[in-house]
Structure 1
Amino acid sequence: MELNSSTLFCNDTVAWTWLSSVQPPFLALISILGVLGNSLVLCVFSLQRKPCSVADVYLGNLAAADLIMVLCLPFWMVTIAQDYQWNFGQLLCKVINTAIPMNYYCSVLFLVLVSVDRYLALAKPMNRTKMRCPKWAKRICVMVWVASFILSLPNLLFRRVRFFSTLEVEACYLAYPHPAWILQRNLTRNLIGFLVPLPVISLCTFHIVKALKNRSLMIQPRVQTERKAAKLVLTVLIVFFFCWTPFQLMRLLSTLDYFQLVSGCLWEDILQIGIQLATYLGYSNSAINPFLYVIVGSHFRKRALGVFQNLLSFRRKSSSSVLTNVTVISKCGDSPKDNRVTPLTLKRVYPPLTHQIVSRSS
């Protein structure tokens, strides 16, 4: 979600009014579905009894990145509903808008890693490398998070909250010190976020599909298990590129706009509205991924069912143990033996009469 000064001064069109009315409910829908779905995925990966595989580590981190992103969207939903009035302070202006681009870099890098892992699992099943070790996969994920944060640092540095008198709003917007930073941002997202990962993912996908068609490999039971995960990964990759390719094309047009090949508020409106629509399509990817795990991932469905069954059985055992203890206590308290009055009971309640008291009373 980006807002700059040109967007603020060239937004008096009917299209912007329509877009501003559609954005809040759409962001609310993405946020609700994304939080529920990605929380479910993380719960399944965290509570499953079997140790996580390398693909689980990468997909779990992908779900964590999606969850962070959808948790940031309600801030912009409220802001857009209030005509871009930012009421959350400058610190959240920087933090929220740094976390959102981090999601994209994390997503594409984790998908590169999971596609490479599927390639090694199917095309090179006999080769055991460090990349196929869960411990090394976790270390690589930490490096991906750090690299994504570094790539998103310009948002942390140049996001500002400023009052625009013409619109009478206090907006959270990008205040680049030089227009060349726009070119740097677009080239970074086009190159690192798309053009460099694309051939790697395409090459791995080609070999994955080729291995899936190889019947001699399908005889091995281990390869059959890897095959199920590969189908899920391929589906996630296809949906990712479907959702984010329009965003990359609009960034390319924004790079051409930097050289002022076309100018004017009309072109600026078309470009900015196109970027907004393409961005929302990309954001929807974070809400779609969890449903892909459930619909396509048969192995994930089995694990999710196992986790829920374990939770239900644990709850039943705990409730049954509590009922058993209560029953035992009630039975012990209601037994006829406990209700009888014995000399020991009288001694506890009434102190024994001493000899002196007896003599005085007589």
Structure 2
Amino acid sequence: MEPGANGTESATAAPMGPDAWPFNLTGDEGPPFLTDAWLVPLFFSLLTLVGLVGNSLVVYVISTRRQLRTATNCYIVNLATTDIIFLVCCVPFTATLYPMPSWIFGDFMCKFVNYLQQVTVQATCITLMAMSVDRCYATVSPLRSLRHRTPRLAMVVSVAIWIGSFILSIPMAMYHRIAQGYWYGLQTYCIEAFPTKSQQRAFIIYTFLAVYLLPLVTICVCYVVILQRMGQPLVRPIDGNYQKVHHLSERSIAMRTKITRMVVVIVLLFTVCWGPIQIFLVVQGFYTGFQVNFETYKIKTWANCMSYANSSINPIVYAFMGESFRKSFRKAFPFMFKKQVRDGTFTNGSRNAEMKFVTEES
């Protein structure tokens, strides 16, 4: 069983596979049913449900509200789309690896699932990097960016991100295949089989740099520039009208601060959620003293749960931190925000005998 280079619990082999233990077992008794065999799939099911509902609402609200069709929101839609595809096409297959000792979906799905995992993870990373560069440009050159930061350009960039991710992820489809192994009997595994160890390590390094470290460094640089620029006046006063310019500048800074804060939180969540599994895979691929045992298995399971949780957390960030999103959600789904309140009416300084109930938006 080789480590999955795509930063997820790859379908390369089941967590209960032949190399999940220090030795292979060929006895007649069945494999042990551990707690993670039901706990991890249950956790993945919850993540999938929350992520699908949340990300679908994000896509629906942005696509149906004209005022939300901005460059930043185009990238947010792209990010939500990668999360939806990842949750639908990858997570269920990974969940089956915990209770089932064998890969049962065939050779095509072995290649396809791992390929799509790499595509979505890579598209997510590059989209976050594009969002950060977009916010940096809007902050540093607010007037000039009005001509260039258009939804059309953001859509072109998003399409380019997908095309590039599909091309760069081809090795994941090329080097995955079905293999047989023994673990409490003959089992079928979907393994990652590079021709040489050096090629496998090269792809691990590429994945770590391209879909994690390089985007992370780019994002950090962008936000250092944003923090330095934040608070500086956006326009110069004309005809001595300092008060009006100051008011406009404050409003613009406040709006930019809210949007930037939301993007920062999304990026930080990505860093925290995907960091453990990326570091684990590098250590697993390069550290000669790496031990495959229960402890490392538990660490990898936890790291994968963290990475998958990221696809469900992003919509919550949009809902709680984006004021425009909250307003649009209320308009799109008013029945979810209705509540009955008691409206007491008073006549001549005394309370009217009758009470009436009105329904208003929260």
Aligned to 2:248: 219
Alpha-carbon shift at residue 54 of structure 1 (Å) = 0.6
Aligned to 1:88: 105
Of the three residues 16, 20, 32, the one matched with 1:11 is 20
Mark the runs of 5 or more structure 1 residues left unpaired by the alignment. 313-362
Asked whether the 8 Å contact 2:74–2:155 carries over to 1, the reply is yes
Change (3 A) 1:272 1:256: farther
The amino acid across from 1:171 in the alignment is Y
Asked whether the 8 Å contact 2:12–2:189 carries over to 1, the reply is no
Asked whether the 8 Å contact 1:86–1:172 carries over to 2, the reply is yes
The amino acid across from 2:198 in the alignment is A
Per-residue deviation, residues 264-294 of structure 1 (Å, max 9, x unmatched): 544xx65454333222211110010000111
Are 2:210 and 1:192 equivalent residues in the alignment? yes
Per-residue deviation, residues 223-256 of structure 1 (Å, max 9, x unmatched): 4433322121111111111111212221331242
Asked whether the 8 Å contact 1:42–1:63 carries over to 2, the reply is yes
Percentage of matched positions with identical amino acids? 25
Aligned to 1:295: 320
Alpha-carbon shift at residue 311 of structure 1 (Å) = 12
Distance 2:274 2:113 in 1: 20
Structure richer in helix, relative to its length: 1
Of the three residues 309, 316, 340, the one matched with 1:284 is 309
Are 2:294 and 1:274 equivalent residues in the alignment? no
Which ranges of 4 or more aligned residues in structure 1 deviate by more than 6 Å?
13-16, 215-218
Distance 2:119 2:217 in 1: 21
Are 2:67 and 1:61 equivalent residues in the alignment? no
Q: Which has the larger radius of gyration?
A: 1
Structure richer in strand, relative to its length: 2
Of the three residues 125, 130, 133, the one matched with 1:113 is 130
Aligned to 1:173: 191
The amino acid across from 1:208 in the alignment is I
Distance 1:282 1:39 in 2: 20
Distance 2:197 2:37 in 1: 26
Q: Please list, as runs of the form range in 1=range in 2, the aligned pairs for 1:237-248 lying within 5 A after superposition.
A: 237-248=267-278
Aligned to 1:202: 220
Asked whether the 8 Å contact 2:11–2:97 carries over to 1, the reply is no
Alpha-carbon shift at residue 2 of structure 1 (Å) = 1.8
The amino acid across from 2:217 in the alignment is P
Instruction: Tell me the secondary structure at the aligned position of residue 80 of structure 1.
Output: coil
Alpha-carbon shift at residue 177 of structure 1 (Å) = 2.3
Asked whether the 8 Å contact 1:16–1:273 carries over to 2, the reply is no
Distance 1:241 1:263 in 2: 24
Mark the runs of 5 or more structure 2 residues left unpaired by the alignment. 1-8, 23-30, 236-246, 338-362
Alpha-carbon shift at residue 144 of structure 1 (Å) = 0.7
Alpha-carbon shift at residue 18 of structure 1 (Å) = 4.3
Asked whether the 8 Å contact 1:243–1:284 carries over to 2, the reply is yes
Aligned to 1:101: 118
Instruction: Tell me the secondary structure at the aligned position of residue 127 of structure 1.
Output: helix
TM-score by length of 1: 0.75
Instruction: Tell me the secondary structure at the aligned position of residue 27 of structure 1.
Output: helix
TM-score by length of 2: 0.75
Of the three residues 286, 290, 303, the one matched with 1:256 is 286
The amino acid across from 1:101 in the alignment is Q
Alpha-carbon shift at residue 199 of structure 1 (Å) = 2.2
Instruction: Tell me the secondary structure at the aligned position of residue 10 of structure 1.
Output: helix
Aligned to 1:358: none
Distance 2:110 2:12 in 1: 13
The amino acid across from 1:65 in the alignment is T
Change (3 A) 1:126 1:64: same
Alpha-carbon shift at residue 55 of structure 1 (Å) = 0.3
Asked whether the 8 Å contact 1:121–1:223 carries over to 2, the reply is no
Report how many residues are paired.
Answer: 306
Of the structure 1 ranges 135-144 and 13-22, higher mean CA displacement relative to structure 2 is found in: 13-22
